Amino acid sequence: MKLSHLALPVVAAAVIAGCGGSGSGSDTGTLRLALTDAPSCGYDAVNVTVEKVRVHRSAAADDTDGGWAEIVLPTPQRLDLLTLSNGVLLELGQTELPAGTYTQMRLVLARNGGSAPYANSVVPTGGDETPLTTPSAQQSGLKANIGLTVEPDQVADFVIDFDACKSVVRRGASGQYNLKPVIAVIPRLGDAGQRVVGRVDPALALASTAVSVQAGGVPVKATVPGADGRFVLYPVPAGNYDLVVTAAGRVTAVMTSVPVTATSVTQVNGDVALAPPATVLPARAVNGVVTPATASVRALQKLAGGPTIEVAWGAVDAASGAFAFALPVETPVRTAYVPGAPSLPFVADTLALGLYTVEAEAAGVKKSVDIDAKADVAPLAITFP
Going from the C-alpha of 102 to that of each of 123, 151, 190, the distances in angstroms are: 35, 11, 21
Q: What is the pLDDT of residue 135?
A: 67
Strands of the 195-199 sheet, one edge to the other:
230-233, 195-199, 265-267
Can you point out the beta strands (E) in 295-383? Answer: 296-302, 308-314, 322-327, 333-336, 347-348, 355-362, 365-372, 380-383
Q: What is the pLDDT of residue 138?
A: 61
pTM given for the model:
0.89
Burial class (CB in 10 A: 0-12, 13-18, 19+), 35: buried
| Distance of alpha carbon 208 from alpha carbon 201, whole angstroms | 14
Q: Please list the pLDDT of the chain residue by residue as tens digits (385 residues).
A: 334 433 333 333 333 333 333 344 469 999 999 999 877 678 999 999 999 999 999 999 998 999 999 999 999 999 999 999 999 999 999 999 999 999 999 999 999 988 889 999 999 988 999 999 886 666 688 888 888 899 999 999 999 998 888 889 999 989 899 988 888 889 998 788 999 999 999 999 998 899 999 999 999 999 999 999 999 999 999 999 999 999 999 999 999 999 999 999 999 988 889 999 999 999 999 999 999 999 999 999 999 999 999 999 988 999 999 999 999 999 999 999 999 888 899 999 999 999 999 999 999 999 999 999 999 999 999 999 8
Amino acid at 174: S
| Distance of alpha carbon 333 from alpha carbon 295, whole angstroms | 30
| Distance of alpha carbon 369 from alpha carbon 356, whole angstroms | 8
| Distance of alpha carbon 96 from alpha carbon 5, whole angstroms | 24
Q: What is the pLDDT of residue 74?
A: 92
Can you point out the beta strands (E) in 68-154? Answer: 69-80, 90-98, 100-109, 121-124, 130-133, 142-150
| Distance of alpha carbon 222 from alpha carbon 232, whole angstroms | 9
Shortest CA distance to 170 belongs to which of 310, 285, 321? 321
- Domain spanning 195-383: which superfamily? Carboxypeptidase-like, regulatory domain (2.60.40.1120)
Contact in structure between 382 and 360 (CB atoms under 8 Å): yes
| Distance of alpha carbon 101 from alpha carbon 56, whole angstroms | 9
Q: What is the pLDDT of residue 207?
A: 87
